[in-house]
A = this chain, B = another copy of it.
Amino acid sequence: MSHTVYDCSEGCPVEATLALIGGKWKGVILFHLLSDTIRFNELRRLMPGVTQRMLTKQLRELEADQLIVRKVYPEVPPRVEYSMADYGLTLAPIITALQKWGTEHLKKVKQEA
Q: Count contacts on A: residues with CB < 8 A to the other chain.
A: 40
A98 at the interface (CB under 8 A from B): yes
Question: What's the number of copies of this chain in the assembled complex?
Answer: 2
Is the Cβ of B6 less than 8 Å from the Cβ of A102?
no
A31 at the interface (CB under 8 A from B): yes
Q: Would you call A40 an interface residue if the criterion is a C-beta within 8 Å of the partner chain's C-beta atoms?
A: no
Chain B: minimal CB distance from A88 (Å): 11
A95, closest chain B residue (CB): B14
With A7-B49, A27-B18, A106-B12 as contacts: A97 and B99 at CB distance below 8 Å: no
Q: Could you tell me which A residues sit within 8 Å of B by CB distance?
A: 6-18, 20-22, 25, 27-28, 30-32, 46-49, 90-91, 93-95, 97-103, 105-106
